[in-house]
Amino acid sequence: MLKHIEEFSKHVAVTGFKNVKIKDTEDFLKKICREKKPNTEIQLFDAQHVATWQHLYFAALNALTAFKNKTNISKSLAMETMLYASAQHQIRKATELVGIKHDSSNVAVLVIGDKREIVEAIVSLVSKRVGSLPSDAVLELSPEKSRIIKKAFEISDTESRDTSKKDGSEEALVDLVIERMALLATQR
């Protein structure tokens, strides 16, 4: 998914990669960040904790808004997206919850930049580095993944059931995760 956010003059890409083997996540992130262009941000997430592309898209929107309003917690837009995606105030907790780990096999990638071509080039760079073609399938929800996300975001069965009466159960879960992120902005 690649979208242009006119309000911020930014392009946002969200995609995923299957069966990734990253031994040293910190080293991997450093190498990718060294190769990225100016005015671009990249963040990687464990796709098991990502409730569709909308989850990361709204994390990016919230992070951009936080920087615009000078209510950001972190110094980098990439880390701010991690905080929003996890609905956490602390970087350590955010990373533990939604960040990639040495055993993360499905990875979600968020790229934010000024130019569409550069954002697309960074997605290609990540694809080359992980040795896999993008696969948005890792962003989709399954019953097992939904259970993992409910637990991680402390979404009760009752809350999920009540919300899913209005929407389908998949849409309800995505909405509840996005709601958790929105609450983070009000608690600053």
pLDDT digits (tens, 9 = 90+) for 159-186: 776 665 555 577 889 999 999 998 887 7
Tell me, what's the pLDDT at 21? Answer: 84
Q: Within a domain: residue 168? A: no
Q: Within a domain: residue 169? A: no
Q: Within a domain: residue 88? A: yes
Q: Within a domain: residue 188? A: no
Q: Please state the rounded mean pLDDT for residues 31-39.
A: 83
181 CB-near residues (< 8 Å, 6+ apart): 55, 58, 59, 62, 84, 85, 87
Q: Within a domain: residue 68? A: yes
pLDDT above 70 as % of the chain:
95
Q: Within a domain: residue 167? A: no
Q: Is it the case that residue 63 has pLDDT exceeding 90? A: yes
Can you say how many angstroms the Cα of residue 89 is from the centroid of all Cα atoms in its chain? 15
| 81-85, 91-95, 115-119, 179-183: segment of lowest average pLDDT | 179-183
Question: Considering only CA atoms, which of 100, 109, 113, 108 is closest in space to residue 36?
Answer: 113
Global pTM?
0.92
**CA–CA separation, 61 and 49 (whole Å):** 18
Q: Within a domain: residue 34? A: yes
Q: Please state the rounded mean pLDDT for residues 54-71.
A: 96
Q: Assign residue 20 the CATH number of its domain.
A: 3.30.2380.10
Is the Cβ–Cβ distance between 110 and 122 less than 8 Å? no
Tell me, what's the pLDDT at 2? Answer: 95
Count of domains for the chain: 1
Tell me, what's the pLDDT at 158? Answer: 78
Structure tokens at 29: 């992130």
Tell me, what's the pLDDT at 166? Answer: 54
- What digits encode the pLDDT tens for the residues 108-159? 999 999 999 999 999 999 999 888 899 999 999 999 999 999 999 999 877 7
The half-sphere exposure of 112 on its side-chain side, counting CA atoms within 13 A, is: 24
Q: By residue range, what is the domain housing residue 113?
A: 2-140
Tell me, what's the pLDDT at 91? Answer: 93
Q: Within a domain: residue 177? A: no
